[in-house]
Amino acid sequence: MIERLMKRFLILLLALPALLIFPANTLAQYKDYLKQNSKAEYFSVSFNTQTGWLVLTAYGEKTTSIKVPIAEIQISAERAELAKDISFESQGLSYQGVMYKYDEITATEIKESENSVTIMFYKFSGSKTKLSRTRRGNLFSFSKSLAVGHDTFVRGTAISILGDIRIDGEVNKDIISLFGNINLTKGAVARGDIATVTGEIEIEEQASIYGEVYSGTEEIDSRRFKFYRGHEFNQGVMLNYNRVDGLLLGGNFGFEHKDSLIPAVNAGFGYAFESKRIRYFFEAEQYIWKQYLLRIGGRFYRKLSSEDNWLLGNTENTAFVLIAREDFKDYYESEGAGGWIEISPAKDLLLKISYDSYDTRWFKSQENLWSLFGGSKLFRENFSSVEPSFRAAGLLELDSIHNGAVSVEFSYDDRLKDEDNILSGWKFLGNLEWSGDGFSSDFDYRKYTFQVIRYQKVNRISSVRLRAVHGNSDGYLPMYKRYFIGGLGTLPGYNHKEMIGSRFWMLNSEYRVGLTKQHFSNLIFRWDVGQIANDSRLDDQSEIKHSVGLGLDFSGLRVNFSKRLDSQEKRDIKIHVRFSSSF
């Protein structure tokens, strides 16, 4: 009963955001955060490009103004002085003995009249207990530069008095630098107005401007930037090469609406010449809550799938196929559809829940597929390392059984690069896959995998990398979903995918010593240990496997020499060439 309720809850969780995809709700994230009756005029700055005059107005019990030539404003690193006893200081606007603190600013508005542009600054007129809530989401700086990074969404206004402002991401309201420069790079999005009194405004091509652009020193035609805010198309070649499909050739295209009000689309279509199959995919994704990158998506596809993507990517594997007649992945075809919800609730953290329903199919390997080198060597069959009787049953399942599964994934990566380009930080990866009757599946299993990786700088020439991996399952785990260890990416002293199991653990460690000052070349000492069991416990009945090795890394090209340390008589040194790191 509890299991059935949990399954229904997961399905409901996947379906619920679809109810939210209506324009009114999507647009709601851009509404004003401050009610009109809660703000009061604080002070304003007006300027006229043609006359070169600036008017500063301070509001309160008595409204007073001062008019000064823009060219006579004295700007230094500590203040902007307009006249005697009137200046913008680090804490606020000092106006004839009265301090208008920047902390009180809650909103801005830029107005254009026939003769001038006015930047209005508002303060909160209600209860002080609600003041911090109304200011939430604004960015402010007095003299330091402000930067809004790529994929960063600022809910409020970006304001600087003396400092420069650089926008790579998105700002929901106004961008104001009174006496500094403003730069919007390619891909930046400004939903409000942009204004500066004495600074320069630089807007790169394909930045998206929704408001107007005002400068006290130059005339800017903001209309020419608004043409880029609608959408962006991209296209490319769908290309792959492996021992099942042979050459896969086709095309793909994408569409992304920069306003995020309609779904982003990505699709591809191609033909696999050896398996004689059409391959295709279509994906659509919609942002729901941009601040936390909450988005939902759906897909349908017919693709050649592999559970070995955690060992190496398609690009590196294709290089091995073309150059050395080695294909390190096992494949099956999957044809079906699915959907997902993805969110980033905190910095460096990503969570994803997905559901897929698909049919599988097994294809024979092309033993004599062309490669540049390899001589008379033949490509191995799919799942060739599996015991023959279990392999035969597993291939039959691939051709006859339907799978439906919910996956819950998370990742956390806080690695930072220091001055020597050595990584330090943590990386966590986790995945739970759940298949059963309630998910329209012919299988019934639960499978989870968890990785913890530490990158640690030791000194200016050396570092340590450590990885702990644990995988487990219950129910009946089909052959193509089982764990394999040995060889590339796991225990390199052993034959590739030599051991199969339903549960395992593994520890990998590298001690890296830089051979050059820039760390373009590294000497690597490696020790790997693991244990795997197939439909049994991880106990003394399963032998713990050890592998040691030595490697050289030349700007990403790695040569590894590894040796197994178990009781096996044949313990030849294994040599692997990699184009990427194992972890």
| Blockwise average pLDDT, block size 10, the chain, 583 residues | 46 43 36 53 90 90 91 91 93 92 90 88 70 64 90 88 93 93 90 92 85 83 52 84 96 80 90 97 90 89 96 92 94 97 89 97 93 88 94 94 96 67 82 95 96 92 94 96 95 94 97 81 94 91 93 90 84 89 85
- Give Cα 229 to chain centroid, integer Å: 22
CA-to-CA distance for 190 and 171, rounded, in angstroms?
Answer: 5
187 phi, psi to nearest 5 deg: 90, -10
Task: Assign 37 to helix, strand or coil.
Answer: helix
Tokens of 435: 């298949």
Q: Which amino acid is at 416?
A: L
The vertex-341 CA angle with 337 and 346, nearest 5°, equals 150
CA-to-CA distance for 344 and 367, rounded, in angstroms?
Answer: 44
**DSSP per-residue string spanning 265-329:** EEEEEEEETTTTEEEEEEEEEEEEEGGGTEEEEEEEEEEEE-S-TTT--HHHHHHHHHHHS----
The dihedral region occupied by 116, where left means phi > 0, alpha psi between -120 and 50, and beta the remainder, is beta
Task: Assign 151 to helix, strand or coil.
Answer: coil
Residues ≥6 apart with Cβ < 8 Å to 25: none
Contacts 24+ apart (CB under 8 A), 391-399: 391/479, 393/479, 394/478, 394/479, 394/480, 395/362, 395/479, 397/360, 397/478, 397/479, 397/480, 398/332, 398/360, 398/361, 398/362, 398/478, 398/479, 398/480, 399/360, 399/361, 399/362
Residues ≥6 apart with Cβ < 8 Å to 75: 81, 162, 179, 198
Task: Assign 527 to helix, strand or coil.
Answer: strand
Tokens of 451: 């990785």
Which of 382, 371, 367, 376 minimizes the C-alpha distance to 241?
A: 371
The dihedral region occupied by 361, where left means phi > 0, alpha psi between -120 and 50, and beta the remainder, is beta
- The confidence score (pLDDT) of residue 33 equals 37
CA-to-CA distance for 492 and 509, rounded, in angstroms?
Answer: 12
CA-to-CA distance for 76 and 81, rounded, in angstroms?
Answer: 8
Which of 325, 272, 265, 258 minimizes the C-alpha distance to 302?
A: 272
CA-to-CA distance for 523 and 111, rounded, in angstroms?
Answer: 63
26 phi, psi to nearest 5 deg: -65, -40
CA torsion sign for 68, 71, 74, 75 is: positive
**Which regions of 317-459 does DSSP assign to beta strands (E)?**
332-346, 349-361, 402-413, 416-417, 423-435, 445-457
Number of C-beta neighbours around residue 59 at 10 A: 18
Tokens of 390: 């279990």
Number of C-beta neighbours around residue 261 at 10 A: 12
Query: Model-level pTM?
Result: 0.67
Strand partners, 342: 295, 352
- Give Cα 84 to chain centroid, integer Å: 51
Tokens of 334: 């999957």
Structural domain spans, the chain: 1-31+230-319+330-382, 32-228, 393-583
CA-to-CA distance for 541 and 392, rounded, in angstroms?
Answer: 26
Q: Which amino acid is at 23?
A: P
Tokens of 227: 């043409």
Which of 331, 324, 248 minimizes the C-alpha distance to 497?
A: 331
CA-to-CA distance for 568 and 563, rounded, in angstroms?
Answer: 11
CA-to-CA distance for 71 and 49, rounded, in angstroms?
Answer: 11
The dihedral region occupied by 358, where left means phi > 0, alpha psi between -120 and 50, and beta the remainder, is beta
Number of C-beta neighbours around residue 341 at 10 A: 20
Place of tokens 């799938």: 305
Helix or strand holding residue 24 (H, E): helix 23-28
CA-to-CA distance for 465 and 477, rounded, in angstroms?
Answer: 31
Strand partners, 179: none
Which of 308, 382, 310, 299 minimizes the C-alpha distance to 335?
A: 299
Contact 348, 354 (CB under 8 A): no
Gyration radius from the chain CA atoms: 30
Residues in the chain: 583
The CATH code that applies to domain 393-583 is: 2.40.160.50
Task: Assign 442 to helix, strand or coil.
Answer: coil
